[in-house]
Amino acid sequence: MSKRVVPPIGEEDEFRGLGDDLFGQETPKESVVPVKKGPRPKKTRRQKALRVMIKRAGIKSPPTIERILEGKTGPKIPISEIGFITNDIQSDVLMAELAQECHVRNRLNRDDILLSRILAVGSEIFKAGRMWTPFYIHQDIYDGRYECISGRHRLAFLALVYGSNLEVPVYIEHLTLKSAREAVTVANDSRPVKALERASYAILRASGGDSEADQDKIYNRLSNLKTNMTKYCVYSVIERGFPAKFTFKLSERSSRPDGGITTVSNIEVFWSEALYWQVGMERKDLDSQLGDSVKFLNLFVSTIRKIPGFNPDQHLTANVLAAVGKYYLAYPNPINDVRAVNVPKLSKVVVALGHTVKKQVVDIYNSILADLAKV
């Protein structure tokens, strides 16, 4: 009896047939594909984008739109009638196709949406199985035009995957164009810092949307990757003040318009270097290190701010804090007492580095070691 031969699957065809029904093609019914002569039909750009998001999300097929929009309420508007694309001319072919389908332009934002960001957002939505945040839409009180204040990349994701004629429930504000632009500024300024946003999203995904989940549940769901552990640290300390709180202000953005001494992203980088963690480690052991590291940072920041010549834009950057984190972890004495590290000397050495923006972490770390040996 002859055997059926399954042809090799190339990179483009790793998800052969997956999601074809979303684009008007029939999904193959047989799991074994017989050999056919000639090239296979070329996938469309949308199908390729869909496969990228499916692969990143680690799922087999896209969730239904009903599941994605579950719990969302409000008047429903076709995506094509909402202005979320800013420019007529697009450098990316797929975005140009989408711009032709969605004719209303967004006058509220100067920057345009990016395909790379759409793929990232879509992958996270697929992974979560739903969309957590509603769409915030402005309707011009003079011409009735709909434009997106918050949620442009999510609208683009839905249009690419489920169609630009899809009707989505939205929250509508009736505003003048000037007021709507002010609303966009407020929405952007009040967004969580990126590092905190990533951490919060990881926690919600791990806990099934339960933001009040206990520490054990959060830790157990995230204790598979070190990158997840830094998110656990960010969320625990900054959102919950556990196991200790910072005594200095962290900024929401790298420009630090609110006067933060450094950023959440920089602190996350410090933790990635300063904390020892391995798969199987108990939560109490990580929490003990985390609490000690917060005490150290509180002392370090309060001390370095008093050193003449201190500049937070030079001496509390991601690279500097990464180097300080490496030093902190490698310190020969147990770091269960922050006084074990000579923080005043360390602070003086860091300020003496001068301009650090263009220096690599390893160079800063070696300079700290060498200069401390001289002090």
Q: Does residue 200 have a pLDDT over 90?
A: no
Query: Which one is predicted more confidently, 66 or 28?
Result: 66
The model scores a pTM over 0.75 = no
Could you give the percent of the chain with pLDDT greater than 70? 78
Per-residue pLDDT, averaged over 138-160, amounts to 93
Give the C-alpha separation, 222 to 213, whole Å.
13
Residue among 152, 90, 143 at smallest CA distance from 117:
152
Query: Which one is predicted more confidently, 317 or 16?
Result: 317
Helices (H), 77-193: 93-101, 115-128, 152-162, 177-189
How do residues 96-105 score in pLDDT, each as one tens digit? Answer: 999 999 999 9
| Amino acid found at 350 | V
Could you give the percent of the chain with pLDDT greater than 90? 53
What domains are defined for the chain? 65-189 (3.90.1530), 194-374 (no CATH)
Degrees, nearest 5: CA angle 235-241-247: 115
Consecutive H or E run containing 140? strand 135-140
Per-residue pLDDT, averaged over 263-275, amounts to 92
Give the C-alpha separation, 126 to 129, whole Å.
5
